[in-house]
Amino acid sequence: MVGLTRPQGGQSFAMRGGGRDSWSGQIAFVLAAAASAVGLGNLWRFPYLAARYGGGVFIAVYLILSLTLGAALLVTEIAIGRYSRQSQLTAFRALGHGRWNFLGVMATVVPLFILPYYNVIGGWVVRYFASYAGVIAGSSPGAETQGFFDAFVADPWSPFVCMAVFTAVASAVVALGVRKGIEKANVVLMPALLAITVALAIYVAALPGAGAGIKFYLVPDFSSCGSVGKVVLAAMGQMFYSLSLAMGIMITYGSYMRRGDSIPGASVRIVAADTFMAVLAGFMIIPLAVAFAGAEGGARPAVDAGPGLMFATLPKIFASLGAAGRWLGFTFFSLVLFAALTSAISMTEACVASVCDFFGIRRRPSVAAVLAWTVAVGSLSAFGYGRWSSARLFGLPMLEFFDSSMNVLTPVVAALTCVFAGWVLGPKRILAECRRESSRGIGGAFAASYAFMVRFVAPVLVAAILASEICRTFGFGGWSI
């Protein structure tokens, strides 16, 4: 048995104040982590990447990567959280004896800067949801009309107000606490999310012409996917984002996990749930886009519209379906809203818990501080296409600037986390935490492959994503995905 000394320093408020919050059990933990993982990345980003990188080719690469590398990284983050019983800001300091303080800071900066602009996008979803609800209730057509998106983001106040509403709801859930807030919200939202996705996928599969879309999505197309390196990089970047890695979320959520619950078992379930939802989303989005947007220049450009797919292409498709399309739009944007909300809740929690643990303050004042920060920084992005559209950094609107910077910072945090787990804390410690107070042991093959993965494979692969992101950000072409 590996020696398990208690981590030094950084005792959290909750620990001093008599017991940290915890999930009610393994299922609640898996549900919470899956709720964080399933978000815009699954519903919109996975389908369009699959369309861009050869359909089945991308799906196969993604499955292999997420079940190996993704699961190993999840195990690492959850174990760091449960072992230290702290959120990321103080966990690295405690486990690294102060020298790894900087990594905790970096892993906190990431969600602190992603949350504000994620909530701006969450606000866009609120606007679309409200618009479809209005259309169904009989008011004038909204989101499905041409130019709606451009007019909305350029409006002086709307994007800000919608972001504030979305932020308030996520913050309210977090203010209620781990069990009474986050857990309860997930128990309602996650089954709803699954049911809506399955229903929409079945509905779309039954539409005329859907078969061609399903073929386009599933059949490997080696001629269009580009080099192997590009597919692997794209799949890996997507996997990080989709599993909410390198943002302190899984460390924070792990810190609420009970000892005795299996970390590898939970990780595999989280990966499976996240991947299932991503693949299912493809069955809903791709046939729809292929069947109805073919007229506008073929299947590939329609699905490959990137961010525009969700807010411009899909509403156009819904509009072409008449009354059924309105219901489809309403149901689809309820789904997106739930998914975005549960992800925003997890990011808010990672920030709130870090503030609590670092300053030793209670949950509610910490939520208030994070809320104020989110609205203040989020306003830069919310006003960024309207009243403050002249404010640009490196030529980019604020939202895109934050997004690009975080795309570079996330792999740095991920790579350093692997180095920390593989070489500082050591795979033995992580594995010992995995089987702590559990009746089931860890197999030798699992232990050996985990150690190899976290020490060698993960840092090298993550460094490759980083190089690609840097190339893309600074425009060196060729290498970037």
| Least CB distance to ligand PHE at residue 189 (A) | 14
Closer of 351 and 454 to ligand PHE (Cβ): 351
Q: How many residues bind ligand PHE (CB under 6 A)?
A: 15
35 near ligand PHE, rule: CB under 6 A: no
| Least CB distance to ligand PHE at residue 417 (A) | 15
**Binding ligand PHE by CB under 6 A: which of 7, 10, 39, 459?**
39
Candidates 61, 27, 62; CA nearest to 41 is: 62
| Least CB distance to ligand PHE at residue 368 (A) | 21
| Least CB distance to ligand PHE at residue 38 (A) | 6
Please choose, out of 38-46, 189-197, 250-258, 353-361, the segment that lies near ligand PHE by the rule CB under 6 A: 38-46
Closer of 249 and 431 to ligand PHE (Cβ): 249
Please choose, out of 222-230, 326-334, 339-347, 386-394, the segment that lies near ligand PHE by the rule CB under 6 A: 339-347
| Least CB distance to ligand PHE at residue 334 (A) | 16
**Binding ligand PHE by CB under 6 A: which of 40, 185, 250, 288?**
40
| Least CB distance to ligand PHE at residue 371 (A) | 17
Tokens of 326: 């309105």
**Binding ligand PHE by CB under 6 A: which of 30, 32, 34, 41?**
41
3-state per-residue secondary structure call for the chain: CCCCCCCCCCCCHHHHCCCCCCCCCHHHHHHHHHHHHCCHHHHHHHHHHHHHCCCHHHHHHHHHHHHHHHHHHHHHHHHHHHHHCCCHHHHHHHHCCCCCHHHHHHHHHHHHHHHHHHHHHHHHHHHHHHHHHHHHCCCCCCCCCCCHHHHHHHCCCHHHHHHHHHHHHHHHHHHCCHHHHHHHHHHHHHHHHHHHHHHHHHHHHCCCCHHHHHHHHHCCCCCCCCCHHHHHHHHHHHHHHHCCCCCCHHHHHHCCCCCCCCHHHHHHHHHHHHHHHHHHHHHHHHHHHHHHHHHHCCHHHHHCCCCHHHHHHHHHHHHHCHHHHHHHHHHHHHHHHHHHHHHHHHHHHHHHHHHHHHHCCCHHHHHHHHHHHHHHHHHHHHCCCCCCCCCEECCEEHHHHHHHHHHHHHHHHHHHHHHHHHHHHCHHHHHHHHCCCCCCCCCHHHHHHHHHHHHHHHHHHHHHHHHHHHHHHCCCCCCCC
37 near ligand PHE, rule: CB under 6 A: yes
Q: Using CB under 6 A as the criterion, what x/- string covers residues 42-81 for binding ligand PHE?
A: x---------------------------------------
347 near ligand PHE, rule: CB under 6 A: yes
Q: Using CB under 6 A as the criterion, what x/- string covers residues 101-140 for binding ligand PHE?
A: -------------x--------------------------
Question: Which residues, at least 6 apart from 342, have a Cβ–Cβ distance to it below 8 Å?
Answer: 35, 36, 38, 39, 185, 186, 189, 190, 193
Closer of 23 and 338 to ligand PHE (Cβ): 338
Question: Which residues, at least 6 apart from 160, have a Cβ–Cβ distance to it below 8 Å?
Answer: 123, 379, 382, 383
| Least CB distance to ligand PHE at residue 355 (A) | 17
Q: Using CB under 6 A as the criterion, what x/- string covers residues 138-177 for binding ligand PHE?
A: ----------------------------------------
The C-alpha atoms of residue 356 and residue 363 are separated, in whole angstroms, by 6
Please choose, out of 88-96, 132-140, 341-349, 442-450, the segment that lies near ligand PHE by the rule CB under 6 A: 341-349
The C-alpha atoms of residue 392 and residue 385 are separated, in whole angstroms, by 10
| Least CB distance to ligand PHE at residue 244 (A) | 4
Q: Using CB under 6 A as the criterion, what x/- string covers residues 214-253 for binding ligand PHE?
A: ---------------------------xx-x--x-x----
**Binding ligand PHE by CB under 6 A: which of 12, 36, 186, 405?**
36
Query: Hey, which residues does 392 pair with through a beta bridge?
Result: 397
| Least CB distance to ligand PHE at residue 350 (A) | 8
Closer of 346 and 407 to ligand PHE (Cβ): 346
The C-alpha atoms of residue 387 and residue 409 are separated, in whole angstroms, by 28
Query: What residues numbered 374-413 form the site for ligand PHE, per CB under 6 A?
Result: none
**Binding ligand PHE by CB under 6 A: which of 119, 343, 379, 405?**
343
Closer of 7 and 41 to ligand PHE (Cβ): 41
Q: What are phi and psi of 38, to 5 degrees?
A: -80, 115
Please choose, out of 135-143, 286-294, 340-348, 379-387, the segment that lies near ligand PHE by the rule CB under 6 A: 340-348
Please choose, out of 161-169, 220-228, 342-350, 389-397, the segment that lies near ligand PHE by the rule CB under 6 A: 342-350
**Binding ligand PHE by CB under 6 A: which of 346, 374, 381, 417?**
346
Burial of residue 208, with CB atoms counted within 10 A of its CB: 0-12 exposed, 13-18 middle, 19 or more buried:
exposed
> Which positions touch ligand PHE (CB under 6 A)?
36-37, 39-42, 114, 241-242, 244, 247, 249, 343, 346-347
